[in-house]
Amino acid sequence: MEMKLIDRIEELKRGRNAVILVHNYQPGEIQDIADYVGDSLELSRLAAATDAAVVVFCGVHFMAETAFILSPEKIVILPDLKAGCPLADTITVVALKEKRREHPDAKVVCYVNSSAAVKAESDVCCTSANAVRIVESLDGEKVIFVPDRNLGAYVSSRVDKEVILWDGTCPIHDENVSLEQVTKLKREHPEARFIAHPECRLEILRLADEVCGTSGMVRYARESVAGEIIVGTEAGIVYRLKKENPGKTFYPIETAVCPDMKLITLEKIARSMETLEPRVVVPEDVRLGAEEAVKRMVELV
């Protein structure tokens, strides 16, 4: 059954001139059919660079939106439109405008886990991989960092600027990666290194040997001499880490599972490639504003 579906997806890929982009958190069987597996921004840039007419984005809504922002001439498909991001949903344009009014002298830096409309209201975008460098490189001493409070607090601990935080979090990183779990895994595997995504709380990040985004974790796993690694992020990435590093042992945080990421299935991918729906589109005025914030990020780092 699964083989038939995979053959069908391959056939549709050729027929539609499509590329399948898969985020590092996706289930293993979806990573296996990918043209590229990567982090949120990496994939959007690949979407813009490819000659394919159709981009099948296996991730969550803001990622597919970012792909569309950078390549509006392409058809961008998200196989399940309900695959959202609770962190991105913690902020609205109206609330951000209000915050700006409170701090008219501050620059607004928005994490890529946000809607296109919020990006369009921001001065510059950032990812977990470049947030510190982006904030550091801005003129001015004051920054409003939205929407992730934990990433903002981490940035604030690393830069010499006033960082005004937004009270948003990713529930998976903020609640499901707990101090108890991490200390238990560290006790059970005393030789293991610990890597953590900066969406985790500062108390967790203080225990980490390396704080990085998902592409940084892929690199760390490859380059580190460590034979055992505890992985402080969404557990789906462990499939890729194991596949690329068969000689090493990875310990996931078992409760760190993003239900939105898991909404994407092989069946939905095949169906969406047949119908070319559901598509992710952004109104042109919003897209242009969001594109500016994303492009400024690329120029700054």
Q: Could you tell me the smallest distance in angstroms from the CB atom of residue 145 to ligand 13P?
A: 16
As given in the structure block, the two tokens for residue 18 are 């499509």
Cβ–Cβ under 8 Å, residues 173 and 152: no
CA distance 270 to 283: 27
- Which among 112, 178, 119 has a CA at the least distance from the CA of 151? 112
Based on the shown chain and the rule CB under 6 A, indicate whether residue 40 belongs to the binding site for ligand 13P. yes
When the beta carbons of 82 and 97 are compared against ligand 13P, the nearer one is 82
| Contacting residue, 31, 114, 214, 272, with ligand 13P by CB under 6 A | 214
213 binds ligand 13P (CB under 6 A): yes
Shortest reach from residue 113's CB to ligand 13P, in Å: 5
Q: How many residues does the chain have?
A: 301
Q: Which of the residues 173 through 212 are near ligand 13P (CB under 6 A)?
A: 197, 199
Helix (H, G, I), strand (E, B) or coil at 50: coil
What six digits make up the tokens of 163? 């960082």
**Does residue 115 bind ligand 13P (CB under 6 A)?**
no
- What the block records as the tokens of 127 is 């990812």
Phi, psi of 196 (to 5 degrees): -140, 145
Q: Which of 113, 114, 122, 169 binds ligand 13P (CB under 6 A)?
A: 113
Q: How far is the CB of 148 from ligand 13P (least distance, A)?
A: 9
Candidate residues 50, 114, 127, 176; the one interacting with ligand 13P per rule CB under 6 A: 127
Residue 24 touches ligand 13P, criterion: CB under 6 A: yes
- In the complex, minimum distance from the CB of residue 87 to ligand 13P, in angstroms, rounded to a whole number: 7
Q: Is 151 in the site for ligand 13P (CB under 6 A)?
A: no
CB of 248 to ligand 13P, least distance (A): 20
Task: Calculate the alpha carbon distances from 301 to 48, 294, 297 in Å.
Answer: 19, 11, 7
Q: Residue 167 in contact with residue 201, Cβ under 8 Å?
A: no
Residue 197 Cβ vs ligand 13P, minimum distance, rounded to whole Å: 6
Residue 170 as a binder of ligand 13P (CB under 6 A): the answer is yes
128 binds ligand 13P (CB under 6 A): yes
What's the closest the beta carbon of residue 198 comes to ligand 13P, in angstroms? 9
φ/ψ (deg, to 5) at 235? -65, -20
**Amino acid identity, position 282:** V
> In whole angstroms, what is the distance from residue 35 CA to residue 18 CA?
10
Binders of ligand 13P: how many residues, by CB under 6 A?
11
Q: Can residue 39 be called a binding residue for ligand 13P (CB under 6 A)?
A: yes
Return the number of other C-beta atoms located less than 10 Å from residue 292's C-beta. Answer: 17
Q: How far apart are CA 131 and CA 151, in angstroms?
A: 8
Q: Which residues of the chain form contacts with ligand 13P (CB under 6 A)?
A: 24, 39-40, 113, 127-128, 170, 197, 199, 213-214
